[in-house]
């Protein structure tokens, strides 16, 4: 009598599952290799500049769904007077992104925080610190509430007046792909509202599991990418404009959307960009 080997069939089931996962994730175009790390549970959250209450700073441009996905924090001194000022982690957590992303962003840090919701469940948020002059933490590093993570900067090519662009995301998939997710409260928190709500949490001194590698790497809805044809410039003449890099799209999207579009500001952004391009 021949019996089927239960171990073997279990193995093949596992293989099948693994294979279908690879196929499905391959088809959807999303590269997820989610895993876990640990970090200390947050005991509350603070404003990331002028710690802990934002003393000496004000919000120049606030959060607005489908408009501005975060808050722009500026020093009371105006202009670039806050350039180089310290930026602190809003709470305990772990660094999940630290990169000079260029485009409209420059240096960006994203920190993932675990905190206890009012209903007792542990929830997660990402805090994002953009346009930094320097980054002083690296991916995988655990940080505590109020720890220095970088300094206020002027963004790539020095294209903005110095300020901190600060976001809080509920959706841990966003990362640098804001374009893939709704620009609403489904995806984001209004930063000051979130901080006010969770300012003081019970101090539990507890280490918890934090999901990592959750960022979407490509557009799951984008099945084909048609090549973009660009006419070749064979002759350089004064009449030929320099090739506009793709960054410009992001710049426009990030900093010249509705509220941002004060004419003087847009003008200076474009002047700087074109100056940069013609160098
Ligand atoms: Zn901003």
Distance 224 CA to ligand 1 centre (A): 31
Distance 221 CA to ligand 1 centre (A): 27
Strand blocks (E) in 44-118: 57-61, 71-75, 86-88, 93-100, 107-116
Given this model, what pLDDT does residue 67 score? 96
Q: Which helix (H) or strand (E) holds 183?
A: none
Given this model, what pLDDT does residue 54 score? 98
CB burial of residue 154 (10 Å; 0-12, 13-18, 19+): middle
Given this model, what pLDDT does residue 238 score? 43
Residue 2 has pLDDT above 50, yes or no: no
Given this model, what pLDDT does residue 272 score? 64
Distance 61 CA to ligand 1 centre (A): 7
- Torsions phi, psi of 57, nearest 5? -130, 160
Distance 16 CA to ligand 1 centre (A): 46
In terms of Cα–Cα distance, which of 32, 95, 53 is closest to 200? Answer: 53
Residue 46 has pLDDT above 90, yes or no: yes
Given this model, what pLDDT does residue 239 score? 44
Distance 68 CA to ligand 1 centre (A): 7
- % of the chain at pLDDT higher than 70: 66
pLDDT tens profile 85-118: 999 999 999 999 999 999 999 999 999 999 999 9
Residue of 19 and 107 predicted with greater confidence? 107
Strands 122-132 and 164-169 turn out to be antiparallel
In terms of Cα–Cα distance, which of 173, 69, 50, 51 is closest to 130? Answer: 69
pLDDT tens profile 157-180: 999 999 999 999 999 999 999 999
By the CB criterion, residues less than 5 angstroms from ion ligand 1 are 72, 165
Distance 201 CA to ligand 1 centre (A): 28
Q: Which helix (H) or strand (E) holds 148?
A: strand 148-151
Given this model, what pLDDT does residue 58 score? 98
Q: What is the mean pLDDT of the chain?
A: 80
> What's the mean pLDDT in 189-209?
96
Given this model, what pLDDT does residue 34 score? 77
Distance 69 CA to ligand 1 centre (A): 7
Distance 166 CA to ligand 1 centre (A): 7
pLDDT band at 264 (very low <50, low <70, confident <90, very high): low
Distance 71 CA to ligand 1 centre (A): 6
Sequence-ordered list of residues with C-beta below 8 angstroms from that of 52, at least 6 positions apart, any chain: 46, 146
pLDDT tens profile 61-71: 999 999 999 99
Enter the tokens of residue 248: 């410009």
Distance 62 CA to ligand 1 centre (A): 8
Distance 260 CA to ligand 1 centre (A): 8
> What's the mean pLDDT in 17-41?
61
Distance 72 CA to ligand 1 centre (A): 5
Distance 46 CA to ligand 1 centre (A): 19
- % of the chain at pLDDT higher than 90: 64
Distance 229 CA to ligand 1 centre (A): 32
């Amino acid at each position: 009598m021949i019996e089927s080997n239960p171990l073997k069939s279990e193995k093949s089931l596992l293989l099948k599952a693994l294979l279908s996962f690879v196929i499905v994730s391959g088809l959807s175009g999303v590269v997820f290799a989610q895993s876990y790390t640990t970090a200390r549970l947050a005991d509350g959250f603070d404003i990331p500049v002028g710690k802990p209450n934002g003393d000496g700073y004000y919000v120049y441009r606030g959060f607005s769904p489908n408009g501005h996905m975060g808050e722009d924090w500026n020093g009371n001194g105006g202009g670039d007077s806050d350039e180089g000022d310290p930026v602190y982690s809003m709470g305990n957590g772990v660094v999940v992104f630290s990169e000079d992303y260029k485009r409209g962003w420059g240096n960006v840090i994203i920190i993932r925080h675990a905190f206890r919701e009012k209903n007792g469940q542990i929830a997660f948020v990402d805090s994002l610190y953009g346009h930094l002059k320097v980054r002083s933490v690296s991916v995988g590093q655990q940080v505590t509430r109020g720890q220095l993570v970088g300094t206020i900067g002027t963004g790539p090519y020095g294209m903005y007046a110095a300020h901190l662009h600060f976001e809080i995301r509920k959706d841990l998939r966003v990362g640098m792909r804001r374009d893939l997710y709704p620009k609403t409260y489904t995806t984001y928190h209004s930063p000051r509202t979130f901080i006010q709500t969770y300012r003081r949490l019970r101090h539990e001194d507890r280490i918890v599991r934090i999901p990592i590698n959750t960022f979407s790497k490509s557009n799951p809805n984008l099945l084909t990418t048609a090549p973009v044809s660009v006419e070749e410039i064979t002759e350089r003449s004064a009449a030929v404009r320099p090739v506009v890099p793709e960054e410009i799209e992001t710049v426009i999207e990030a900093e010249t959307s509705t509220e941002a579009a004060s004419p003087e500001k847009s003008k200076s952004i474009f002047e700087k960009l074109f100056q940069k391009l013609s160098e």
